[in-house]
Amino acid sequence: MVKLIKSKGIAHHSYFIEVSGRAVVVDPRRDVDVYLHLAESSEMDITHIFETHRNEDYVIGSLELACATGAEIFHGKNLDFAYGTPVSDRDKFQWGSIELEVMDTPGHTTESISLVLRDLSVSKDAQMVFTGDVIFAGETGRVDLYGPDKSQKMAGLLYDSIFNGILPLGDQVILCPAHGAGSVCGADIREQDYTTIGYERNTNPQLQCTSKEEFIKMKVAEELYTPPYFKKMEFYNQNGAPIAGRIPYFKPIPPKILKEKINNGACILDVRKPTSFAGAHIPGSLNIWRDGVPAFAGWFLNYDDPIIVVDDQIQGLDEVRQALFRLGFDNIYGYLEGGFPSWYLHAGQINSIKLWSVHQLKQKLESLKEKGEGLTENRKKFKETSEEDFFLLDVRKIDDRRKDYIQGSHHIYVGDLPQRIQEVPHDIPVVVYCDSGYKSTTACSYLKKNGYTKLSTVLGSMTAWKKASYPVVKA
Amino acid sequence: MVKLIKSKGIAHHSYFIEVSGRAVVVDPRRDVDVYLHLAESSEMDITHIFETHRNEDYVIGSLELACATGAEIFHGKNLDFAYGTPVSDRDKFQWGSIELEVMDTPGHTTESISLVLRDLSVSKDAQMVFTGDVIFAGETGRVDLYGPDKSQKMAGLLYDSIFNGILPLGDQVILCPAHGAGSVCGADIREQDYTTIGYERNTNPQLQCTSKEEFIKMKVAEELYTPPYFKKMEFYNQNGAPIAGRIPYFKPIPPKILKEKINNGACILDVRKPTSFAGAHIPGSLNIWRDGVPAFAGWFLNYDDPIIVVDDQIQGLDEVRQALFRLGFDNIYGYLEGGFPSWYLHAGQINSIKLWSVHQLKQKLESLKEKGEGLTENRKKFKETSEEDFFLLDVRKIDDRRKDYIQGSHHIYVGDLPQRIQEVPHDIPVVVYCDSGYKSTTACSYLKKNGYTKLSTVLGSMTAWKKASYPVVKA
Amino acid sequence: MVKLIKSKGIAHHSYFIEVSGRAVVVDPRRDVDVYLHLAESSEMDITHIFETHRNEDYVIGSLELACATGAEIFHGKNLDFAYGTPVSDRDKFQWGSIELEVMDTPGHTTESISLVLRDLSVSKDAQMVFTGDVIFAGETGRVDLYGPDKSQKMAGLLYDSIFNGILPLGDQVILCPAHGAGSVCGADIREQDYTTIGYERNTNPQLQCTSKEEFIKMKVAEELYTPPYFKKMEFYNQNGAPIAGRIPYFKPIPPKILKEKINNGACILDVRKPTSFAGAHIPGSLNIWRDGVPAFAGWFLNYDDPIIVVDDQIQGLDEVRQALFRLGFDNIYGYLEGGFPSWYLHAGQINSIKLWSVHQLKQKLESLKEKGEGLTENRKKFKETSEEDFFLLDVRKIDDRRKDYIQGSHHIYVGDLPQRIQEVPHDIPVVVYCDSGYKSTTACSYLKKNGYTKLSTVLGSMTAWKKASYPVVKA
Amino acid sequence: MVKLIKSKGIAHHSYFIEVSGRAVVVDPRRDVDVYLHLAESSEMDITHIFETHRNEDYVIGSLELACATGAEIFHGKNLDFAYGTPVSDRDKFQWGSIELEVMDTPGHTTESISLVLRDLSVSKDAQMVFTGDVIFAGETGRVDLYGPDKSQKMAGLLYDSIFNGILPLGDQVILCPAHGAGSVCGADIREQDYTTIGYERNTNPQLQCTSKEEFIKMKVAEELYTPPYFKKMEFYNQNGAPIAGRIPYFKPIPPKILKEKINNGACILDVRKPTSFAGAHIPGSLNIWRDGVPAFAGWFLNYDDPIIVVDDQIQGLDEVRQALFRLGFDNIYGYLEGGFPSWYLHAGQINSIKLWSVHQLKQKLESLKEKGEGLTENRKKFKETSEEDFFLLDVRKIDDRRKDYIQGSHHIYVGDLPQRIQEVPHDIPVVVYCDSGYKSTTACSYLKKNGYTKLSTVLGSMTAWKKASYPVVKA
């Protein structure tokens, strides 16, 4: 029996494989209790841990799990890990009738391996394959992690791994990748827990290339983001992350202490929804809505300043702690006791940003147009424009921007704001949109923290804008 | 072993008493699974259910529990219940060495009983007493439920029940009342799970009276609120509420269907916090923050129109459903699928109300004062006042109002708004405050639903106002 | 997303399919809370329920679930169901981009359907197929339910359904059958949650036939058991089982009351392990070890006499209750309070049966052989044999018996004992073995209940016998 | 709010006290997750940990909890602890209106303290008192831990602590002791979670003494057992036990490996019920039924040899692990994979002991009597007695033995068997009884392990014997 353990947010898939009274874990996450509980409830001893590759988007839990269970860790031999045992192409592990065969499948990283599962009591046919970040439902792994000059080479390796390694295993094989929809490790992974080699061969857009050259060209052209925290993950996952034991205690911080902590450089992470954050928030706080923490914390937080989380209530805070723990943010200090309401009940100062509906945005844009002034992307012209003018900022991914956008908007990906903030003017109001109104509120909070005062976030953003059938500029 | 089962919001305490291989439940709530699970995990058969009185603030679960277990229901003989078995003063039940003695303790209601628990293998001394709504930690039961003309008589009965019935049981007795802090069944119940007769005799403010007359005078003078849903509860609890089986299914409603439902008269209950609701909400929706639902739903909802709940997310919705179920609102239709965000992502129209900090309120009031205009409670003068004037509305409980208030404010208890809405002017902005900013937002939502447009709610309200050391008018 | 819900014991697989904000359930079990919780936690409204066929081995939960949610029920049109809506071959349901197509796949039953899932946003290729009891991992559905004279015809239909219906969907399709390993609905289903058409086409022994004739011959030759409770299930599943609301309350029964109940005809179901039951048990009780209840209760229990369960402790009793509920045994009365120990603590009479290890069995057989007497299968010869002789009874499945057995043993399948008990002699000791010592203890308990006195069960039975390398007679 | 956390088996009561946004824990157990979860769910920071005394019966979790939370540890100043902060009589801690006052209450140990809780916003009256092992429901603390020569002095101290310290706090005070019924720290504690000073003053048998002398005499006369593991606990609790992080992983051990481990000195702890163990068990295993582990493991296990647990199934094993962890047995190695059945399925050798009902015992005794032989306690006479004679061993507590016993039995407390085993004859059968048949099976397993072969355990023992109205010898 194979159990898929999904980690929300980072869209990470790990696997707990039961074989003849023992368990093998593939790519464990850092909060390993889930595997320990599975081991206990199924009476299995975890004896082997496989890492399909050195992950860059989260802290791998191999050491943590090995430390708790005594299991051995295995990974590809093409990287010099500070722990674990290297395995080679065609190495086989067998327990009872179950065989797990290592297959070198470089491309995403140089040491990537896949694991082929067979039940020899049934057949020599492969039953499942654990592909790590090589191939996903509807996608293949990114090849840009070693920098642009290596992408071409990596894409070639990936082509070989897939076309000469994975696909020949047969259409009948169930394919178990290391990520699901929403991961930063593939551009456009489909929401589908299990797929098969046959289904991917037929339908995966990236497998429809007619030549290796075409595949390489396509992969090299991909534009994917690399959040700054990847560096830390790569270091941790090559050298071993600190052992935690249990997930760190999460301290409630009274409002009074919070004020002191802010003065001493703490980072206030407000995880409420755009409507709540916009309505009122603690001055200087950064907003990343709760479900966005796994994807965006790594863009804005650092590993040194104490992090204090603010939410409306305690429910759900555990997810935030878990998310930060998975990204190695062991500098979580605590959370605002009583939630945001306790801040204003203690007469704390509050800030707000404006919430615009798409209908309001439409109206403002039209009213400008009627006056013959129009919104302009050209920063230089602002000084000459009317008081009603504003800077419309699009913070979506470049891929989405390329498809369509609202006329007159300027594009900076939300994660790139720290690097490109000087492109945003200070002297006129800034109105931010994204896909839904979430990332745009994150952007607003970052701008507010950095001195911008007249800010609006567009609720519903492009999704609502299109639902309302308002016009877009198509690429 | 006695287990206290607390129901949040209605601050209801019920008890699961284990006696010699069987269980007795005192005042079960309507969602009875908690008792069934206790029975199972402790291997007890629930055979007896006692109602200390006909409750008026929630649907009693006796019939539901009897229906699931076959247990027998008992209550005081001085009311003509449509089900169950009447018991009389001094009736005794004994299982093994445990004795439960009925004691008539009228005053809160005429048929109220208390139950005295003794372990005869230890002593004839009383060990615990289950007092229903007769006496609480720091309080005694309200005596106004039969109307003002009966209060005096009921207060006299209550005095006798307490001073001649309960207190003589001895200081050593652990006192188990039917409500904790926050209940509408006592004015000012203390936060304390278990207390004793001795501790109450020494410290309960209401037990310090030096004569029966003084006690009666004090009780008659109490001003307590009686929400309209009490009528339904009284009817249900005397005649038997409908049997539910399991808590009703809670349907996710897509935004499109929600729009239709609104047009057909559905009640939209938005349970988000003041900041979220104020930021943006569905036009026409009523706001009662999640934890306020048990206490305020019964003031504003009716038992006919389908209720649809709106929250930010699904977490916590279960509590809302439970709360409504406990109050007999079986007309829950469902909840907005995807939470409030799905509304704006589908380009739904949104309303907002203004959020004021106490600092802003202070500033506005001072700026008016400087202009020599001042805020006035006198509605007639409004037409003559400046454009900056506003109507400051205090929606706290009358007891709190009596203690202190912000100068220039007009008082209407939030629950009385439906009856007294005509006191609120339409032509100038209305700024609402309460203790914290929660009830004031409920009030704003009610006013908005009823055509008022310029509304502000004061975040933190009196709590923050006092923290900031701003001036109040003392009574 | 498709979620597999496994029901232990009956090895039943049902599926919760999330499609565009709604949920579709395939073959729900009777205790439907699992689907309701999934619906709630994933914010899905359950709107459609499909039955792949009229199940014969458990009570289908369609009506129960429909009653809780308002969902509509669908099933194949070739049987006259008293509820639900018939669907026809090639009927299509579409929600968002997800399509579910009905495919008539008779063979196991005449009205069996399969459901083909496609994601049209990806491709017209089938992604998954829900095959009910048509095809399993390593098996195909049984064809003997309409009696031996219909088996040939049903086998032919099954062949067509598989070879002309399912297999042509493509090797890439993930196959989701209604049963896993251990089910009575297929002879030898493999332990594998998900398989694919390709994998089955290559490896499923029953799909390796070279002609329809060969397939039919093979299927008709299968010898499968049909427990008597199937009749009740078929009646319930065609006409609708009683609606339960919640799983029935399970009453603890004190030893004293238990004695009375036994006298009034209650059935005492002892679910302890062979060692415990053999050591001491209540006279007249039937032993089916806890995990065996789903498979064997239907052979020995009836739907009229109250059932009282005896275990060592309360842990795990819930599973027993669930199992009986799934099989429609609503005549569960309760369980022995305090477990079996409370019986002997109350000085209840106890019986025991002997526990033999395989080593003891071997020794006894050899000692007989040395005396030149030997064990004999021939009942007639018993009278002439020595005092040390015994009747060695093999209660395994006929399939297992066919492979090998211990010399001198007589075979009656455990489930057939009620019909063939007269084959077991009363005058000499009876020693029973099976695969492991579990079914043999069930058999002993049945024999004891029916007046046999000298009984032994062989711990470990054939499994241990072979581990110890003792000789068997091969078929 | 005060939450009582009960630890089954050791009958340990610890308390989680919520005070103004922080939590104080009194006498935490070693598996501290329960406190961490309470802290999280109630949004409390655990800042203070109090130890009422150096416990001798379990590993205190103070260091473990302090390590996880950063809380400070406090204990009485009259012992030189290697960690924490000493507090003195009358030291006060105040948070908000809640005061916790230290009261030196020596007697059980020299450094014992009690903690008096007051809510100063209500009154200066004490509300609750945490008494550690000074006074319990129906009992007072044992005074024999420093040896017989110190008992008199300790009893005098205890008298003063109770009569001059605790009782004067007032009858109204809720009394929160550190142990409930079943603890080894008081002879005969009553089953009652909360009691009051008034109720104890009136009903506690030990508080009815008329003079200090009488009290001392009574206490000194108490005969209580001191299991050998107390030494380890005292060492750990004075010097600090090892920090564990999470409860140790519990490894499933296949039968084959188990055999090896036995050969290498592992201790096989079989936690099944008497019926199961008696029916069949692994040669050399020690039986302590699951719920008996907390009380009896410390008599028979050592801290060096690896411990392997055998049960019928995995359910409930977690409790065993927890129990051993609480007693500091960090040498738990694992548990038999698949439970006891996997042992015999692998053809492992098995032993058994005889199960006698009380009716069988009665019969055997009578049959002896009829023959004029009778059972004798006098070992010397055995050789002269008939073959049917047997040695009847009573392994109950000395207190119970003193009340009544079965004629002809010899008494050795189960825990004293290792010291007094030479009193048990080898040449005739040994029949063991206790209160219920549990401790007697433990005794049998110990005797079997030590070479005795003809052993019987009496199911139901004295409890059933009396239920059956068989004669006893009264003291």
Question: pLDDT tens per residue, chain A (475 residues)?
Answer: 899 999 988 899 999 999 888 999 999 999 999 999 999 988 899 999 999 999 999 999 999 999 999 999 999 999 999 999 999 999 999 999 999 999 999 999 999 999 999 999 999 999 999 999 999 999 999 999 999 999 999 999 999 999 999 999 999 999 999 999 888 777 789 988 889 999 999 999 999 999 999 999 999 999 999 999 999 999 999 999 999 888 889 899 999 999 999 999 999 999 999 999 999 999 999 999 999 999 999 999 999 999 999 999 888 888 999 999 999 999 999 999 999 999 999 999 999 999 999 999 999 999 887 776 666 554 445 455 556 789 999 999 999 999 999 999 999 999 999 999 999 999 899 999 999 999 999 999 999 999 999 999 999 999 999 999 999 999 7
Q: What type of residue is A76?
A: G
As a dihedral over the C-alpha atoms of residue D363, residue D368, residue D371, residue D377, rounded to 10 degrees, the angle is -150
Give the pLDDT score at A375: 64
Give backbone dihedrals phi and psi of A72, rounded to 5 degrees, phi first. Answer: -95, 145
Three-state SS string across A124-184, please? CCEEEEEEECCEECCEECCCCCCCHHHHHHHHHHHHHHHHHHHHHHCCCCEEEECECCCCC
Q: Which residues pair with B94 in a beta bridge?
A: B99
How far is Cα of residue D99 from the mean position of the Cα atoms in its chain? 33
- Token pair of B315 as six digits: 């977490």
Cα separation, B33 vs C93, whole angstroms: 37
Q: Is B341 on the interface with C (CB under 8 A)?
A: no
Which of these, A331, A336, A261, lies nearest to D45 by C-alpha position?
A336
Other Cβ atoms closer than 10 A to B370? 9
Give the pLDDT score at A367: 87
From chain B residues 206-265, the ones with a CB under 8 A of any chain C CB are: 245-246, 249-252, 254
Please tell me which residue of chain D has the smallest CA distance to C348. Answer: D464
Give the pLDDT score at C451: 95
Mean pLDDT for C409-422 is 97
From chain B residues 105-134, the ones with a CB under 8 A of any chain D CB are: 119, 122-123, 125, 127
Which of these, C52, C9, C79, lies nearest to C178 by C-alpha position?
C52
DSSP string, D101-121: EEEE--SSSTT-EEEEEEETT
Give the pLDDT score at D378: 45
Burial B60-89 (b: 16+ CB within 10 A, else e): bbbbbbbbbbebebbbbbebebeebeebee
Give the pLDDT score at A313: 84
Are residues D460 and C357, on separate chains, in Cβ contact within 8 Å? no
Are residues C190 and A122, on separate chains, in Cβ contact within 8 Å? yes
Cα separation, C46 vs C39, whole angstroms: 7
Handedness of CA B269, B272, B274, B275 (dihedral sign): negative
β-pairing, A85-87 vs A72-76, is parallel
DSSP string, D161-175: IIIIIIGGG-TT-EE
Give the pLDDT score at C1: 84
pLDDT tens digits for range D181-220: 888 777 789 988 889 999 999 999 999 999 999 999 999 9
Note whether A35 and A67 are within 8 A (CB). Answer: no
Q: How confident is the model at residue C185 (pLDDT cuts 50, 70, 90)?
A: confident
Cα separation, D460 vs D356, whole angstroms: 9
Burial B224-240 (b: 16+ CB within 10 A, else e): ebbbebbebbbebbbeb
- Token pair of C134 as six digits: 């048509």
Cα separation, C255 vs B90, whole angstroms: 32
**C391: which residues sit within 8 A by CB, 6+ positions away?**
C379, C382, C410, C424, C425, C428, C429, C430, C431
Tell me how many residue pairs between chain A and chain C have CB atoms under 8 A apart.
77
Are residues B314 and C44, on separate chains, in Cβ contact within 8 Å? no
Please tell me which residue of chain A has the smallest CA distance to D339. Answer: A43
Which of these, D137, D145, D135, D139, lies nearest to D114 by C-alpha position?
D135
Which of these, C412, C392, C390, lies nearest to C401 by C-alpha position?
C412
Question: What residues of C are in contact with residue A119 (Cβ under 8 Å)?
Answer: 192
Give me the residue label for tokens 């007589």.
C410
Closest partner residue to B125 (CB to CB) among D170, D194, D203 is D203
Question: What residues of B are in contact with residue A436 (Cβ under 8 Å)?
Answer: 341, 345
DSSP string, A39-66: HHHTT-EEEEEEESS--SSS-B-HHHHH
Q: Is C346 on the interface with D (CB under 8 A)?
A: yes
Of the residues A30, A33, A36, A45, the best mutation for testing chain D's interface (the one with the most D CB atoms within 10 Å of its CB) is A45
Give me the residue label for tokens 């019909």.
C419
Closest partner residue to C171 (CB to CB) among A1, A171, A194 is A171
Domains in chain D (CATH in brackets) are: 2-239 (3.60.15.10), 251-345 (3.40.250.10), 354-474 (3.40.250.10)
Cα separation, B341 vs B347, whole angstroms: 10
Q: How confident is the model at residue D375 (pLDDT cuts 50, 70, 90)?
A: low
DSSP state of B74: E
Cα separation, C99 vs C114, whole angstroms: 13
Which of these, B403, B475, B405, lies nearest to B433 by C-alpha position?
B405
End-to-end CA distance of chain C: 47
Mean pLDDT for D23-36 is 97
Note whether C177 and C135 are within 8 A (CB). Answer: yes
Angle, CA of B38, B44 and B48, to the nearest 5°: 95
Q: How confident is the model at residue C452 (pLDDT cuts 50, 70, 90)?
A: very high
- Token pair of C73 as six digits: 């029920």
How large is the ipTM? 0.93
Q: Is C171 on the interface with A (CB under 8 A)?
A: yes
Give the pLDDT score at A430: 96
Are residues C203 and A125, on separate chains, in Cβ contact within 8 Å? yes
Closest partner residue to B191 (CB to CB) among D1, D123, D172 is D1
- Regions of chain B short of the pLDDT cut 50: 378-380, 382
Give the pLDDT score at B99: 97
Cα separation, C100 vs C95, whole angstroms: 9
Give the pLDDT score at B286: 98
Give backbone dihedrals phi and psi of D341, rounded to 5 degrees, phi first. Answer: -55, -35
Give the pLDDT score at B183: 82
Which of these, C471, A299, C106, C248, lies nearest to B67 by C-alpha position?
C248
Give the pLDDT score at B368: 83
Q: Is A472 on the interface with B (CB under 8 A)?
A: no
Q: Is A190 on the interface with C (CB under 8 A)?
A: yes
Give the pLDDT score at D384: 52
Residue D372 has pLDDT above 70, yes or no: no
β-pairing, C126-132 vs C113-119, is antiparallel
Give me the residue label for tokens 């006929």.
C398
- Token pair of A369 as six digits: 């147009």
Return the percent helix, strand and coil in chain A, to nearest 5: 35, 25, 40
Are residues B251 and C45, on separate chains, in Cβ contact within 8 Å? yes
Residue C124 has pLDDT above 50, yes or no: yes
Residue C200 has pLDDT above 80, yes or no: yes
- Token pair of A440 as six digits: 């745009």
Cα separation, C325 vs C332, whole angstroms: 8
Q: What angle do the packed helices A293-300 and A439-449 form, to 10 degrees?
A: 20
Note whether A367 and A388 are within 8 A (CB). Answer: yes
Closest partner residue to A346 (CB to CB) among B273, B279, B467 is B467
Give the pLDDT score at B165: 97
Mean pLDDT for C322-349 is 95
**C54: which residues sit within 8 A by CB, 6+ positions away?**
C60, C75, C79, C81, C109, C111, C234, C237, C238
Cα separation, C258 vs C41, whole angstroms: 42
Q: Is D45 on the interface with A (CB under 8 A)?
A: yes
Q: How confident is the model at residue C378 (pLDDT cuts 50, 70, 90)?
A: very low
Q: What type of residue is B386?
A: S
Rounded to a whole number of angstroms, the distance from the CA of D334 to the nearest CA of chain A is: 10
Q: Does the model's pTM come out above 0.90?
A: yes
pLDDT tens digits for range C103-116: 999 999 999 999 99
Cα separation, B441 vs B436, whole angstroms: 10
* Residue-averaged pLDDT of chain C: 93
Cα separation, B395 vs B442, whole angstroms: 10
